[in-house]
Amino acid sequence: MIVVSDTAALAEHLSPLRHRADTIAFVPTMGNLHDGHLALVNQARAAADAVVVSIFVNPMQFAAHEDLDTYPRTLDDDLSALRKTGVDLVLTPSADDIYPNTSARHTAIHVPKLGDALCGKDRPGHFDGVCTVVYKLFRLVGPDIAVFGQKDLQQLLIIKRMVADLSLPIDIQSGATQRAEDGLALSSRNQYLSASDRAVAPLLWQTLQSCGATLTATPDCEPASIIDPARKTLEQAGFTVDYLELRELSTLQLVDSVDQECALFVAARLGDTRLIDNIQLAASS
C-alpha cells in the first residue's frame, strides 16, 4: 500500500496504478476509520481493480462552532486497518494542499434544494464544503467508481446529483449502513457519547424502525400523527431532536404519504453529540 501526503505525489503514483488497473474505485473519508468505512472499502475492492482512499478532515464543511479542532485523528490506526483490506493507494493531504488560499476563500459548489433541507438547513454551508472537497478529490484521483455510505443518505443523494449535473464520468455506489449490535449506526462521533448516553442512543434506530413500519402499514394515516409522537418519545428519552421528517428521495421535499419512494430522516443530539440516521420506505401499492 502506497501512502502519499500531497497531491503532487498522488499524481506520480496514480500513473502506474492506472496502467495496471482497468478500473479504480475511490472512498473519501475523514479518517478515524471504523467498520462502516471498512465495509465501503471492501465494496470498492469488489467493484474495481484498484482502490484509492483519502483521509482528510475537511475544514470547509465545519462551521466555526463545530468540532474541527477536536475531530478524532487516528492516522496510524487508519493506515494499519487499510493495509489489511488491500487498499492500493492512500492520500493524506494537508489543508494547505487542498486549499492553497484557505477554504474560506475557495470557490464553493452548491447543490440547490437537496443541499438546503435537513442537515443543510441546520448546518448552513456544510454540504457546499462536502461537494467542493469531493469534487476536488474526484478531479485529483479520477476514479471510475466512488463509494459513499447510506448512513448519510442526504449526502449520498447530493453527491449523485452533483455528479450528474456536472457530467462527471463516475459511478456513485452506495454502501449499506453498518450498525453496532444494538442498532446504533456506526459513526466516528459515537466515541463522544458518555456511557449513559451510549446506552440511550440505540433508541434512535428503534424509533425509526417502529415509525417506518407504522407509516408503511397505515398508508392512509396522516404521517404527523405517527411522527410527532415518535419525536416526543425521543425527547422524553433525553434527545434534542433537530428534525424527524418524511421526505421524498429524489427531491427531499416533505411528503404527506408513503405512496412514493421516501425516507424518514432524523438528526438528534445526546449531550454534545449529534447523531443522524434514516430508514428508506418503499412506496405503498
**Cβ atoms of 275 and 201 closer than 8 Å:** yes
Check residue 187 and report its DSSP letter.
-
Q: How far apart are CA 207 and CA 282, in angstroms?
A: 18
Torsion of CA 194, 198, 203, 204, to 10 degrees: 70
Sign of the alpha-carbon dihedral angle for 240, 242, 245, 249 = negative
Provide the angle, in degrees to the nearest 10, between the axes of the packed helices 126-141 and 153-165: 60
Distance of CA 50 to the CA centre of its chain: 22
* Under 8 Å between Cβ of 28 and 67: no
Length of the chain in residues, anyone? 285
CA distances (Å), 243 to each of 98, 120, 178, 274, in order? 33, 12, 22, 11
User: One of 37, 65, 110, 126 is an active-site residue; which one?
Assistant: 37
Does 126 qualify as catalytic in the annotation? no
Whose cell is 407504522? That residue is 214
List active site positions.
37
